[in-house]
């Protein structure tokens, strides 16, 4: 099937006698504006999920809960030594008591810095691979049976599931917008056929085929879709860039990793081209089907 987007002056004169397809330009601008925003939202959620996985993969927190300060420090020292000897452990860092007191200040106030307060000893652990967690946990329990071990993946998994759900939702929105675009194009093509019925009948008498008439409509609709889509895409990308700047200024560890790669920007920029191709195919199919049935 031949898809040619450059229309001749005669083609434009034929189709410019009615303004149905020109309305399509503004509709497509709105459609692509919303589609690009949905796509950017999905790509941002995907980047956040990847950042979350990267930050939490193979991380453990070890807590030594013991009321007696001497026993607590001794158990923490044994656990730290065992972790640092383990070949599967990249790093094992004890958390400073002052840092823990700072974290507890919103709940305990100034009492969080009381040296007599039995704050658990904590150790941050980074493993070489997430699969090493069971082996390291078993070795740790042999030297500190009372140690509590928290895996970051366990308590952050709901957040990861939420991010994946948002990615799926964004993909579904893009698909819905693509289906809506095809529907609008079909309606515009049929409206154009009704407006040019007499002209089309005359072209048939002159020997013009249905395929040639369909090409006239598909070129016009493709161009209007492309022009409107580019306008909507530019506006959406400006908004996405502005929101990205605001997110970068938040300083939050999770959202700081939400940065679009070059392929993400390329995917968003390609959306108006994809929608123009979709509009072209939908217009050709619709026009040929209608012409074969009523003319």
The pLDDT score that the predictor gives to residue 176 is 94
The pLDDT score that the predictor gives to residue 13 is 47
What span, in angstroms and rounded, lies between the C-alpha atoms of 55 and 247? Answer: 18
Question: pTM here?
Answer: 0.70
CA–CA–CA angle 48, 54, 60 (5° rounding): 120
The pLDDT score that the predictor gives to residue 153 is 67
Residue ranges covered by each domain of the chain: 9-54+157-294, 66-145
The 3-state DSSP composition of the chain as helix, strand, coil percent (nearest 5) reads 75, 10, 20
The pLDDT score that the predictor gives to residue 19 is 53
Using DSSP's 3-state secondary structure scheme, residue 207 falls into coil
Q: Compute mean pLDDT per 10 residues along the chain, 295 residues long, and list them.
A: 46 48 82 93 84 73 80 84 85 80 69 64 82 81 82 72 88 93 84 69 67 75 87 93 74 60 89 90 79 62
CA–CA–CA angle 185, 269, 11 (5° rounding): 40
The pLDDT score that the predictor gives to residue 83 is 85
Helix (H) or strand (E) holding 46: helix 20-56
The pLDDT score that the predictor gives to residue 15 is 47
């Amino acid at each position: 099937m031949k898809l040619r987007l450059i229309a001749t002056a005669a083609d434009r004169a034929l189709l410019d006698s009615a303004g149905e397809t020109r309305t399509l330009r503004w509709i497509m601008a709105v459609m692509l504006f919303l589609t690009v925003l949905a796509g950017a939202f999905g790509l941002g959620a995907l980047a956040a999920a990847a950042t979350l996985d990267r930050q939490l993969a193979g991380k453990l927190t070890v807590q030594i809960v013991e009321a007696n300060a001497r026993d607590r420090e001794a158990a923490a020292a044994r656990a730290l030594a065992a972790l640092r000897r383990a070949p599967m452990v990249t790093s094992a860092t004890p958390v400073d008591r002052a840092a823990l007191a700072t974290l507890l200040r919103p709940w305990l106030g100034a009492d969080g810095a009381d040296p007599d307060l039995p704050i658990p000893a904590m150790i941050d652990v980074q493993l070489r691979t997430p699969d090493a967690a069971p082996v390291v946990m078993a070795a740790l329990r042999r030297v500190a049976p009372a140690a509590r071990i928290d895996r970051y993946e366990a308590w952050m998994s709901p957040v990861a599931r939420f991010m994946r759900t948002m990615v799926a939702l964004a993909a579904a929105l893009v698909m819905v917008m693509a289906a809506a675009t095809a529907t609008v194009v079909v309606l515009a093509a049929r409206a154009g056929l009704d407006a040019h019925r007499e002209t089309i009948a005359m072209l048939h008498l002159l020997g013009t085929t249905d395929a040639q008439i369909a090409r006239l409509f598909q070129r016009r609709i493709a161009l209007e879709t492309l022009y409107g889509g580019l306008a909507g895409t530019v506006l959406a990308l400006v908004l996405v860039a502005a929101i990205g700047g605001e997110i970068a200024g938040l300083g939050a560890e999770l959202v700081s990793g939400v940065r679009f790669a070059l392929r993400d920007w390329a995917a968003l920029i390609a959306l108006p081209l994809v929608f123009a191709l979709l509009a072209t195919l939908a217009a050709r199919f619709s026009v040929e089907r209608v012409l074969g049935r009523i003319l």
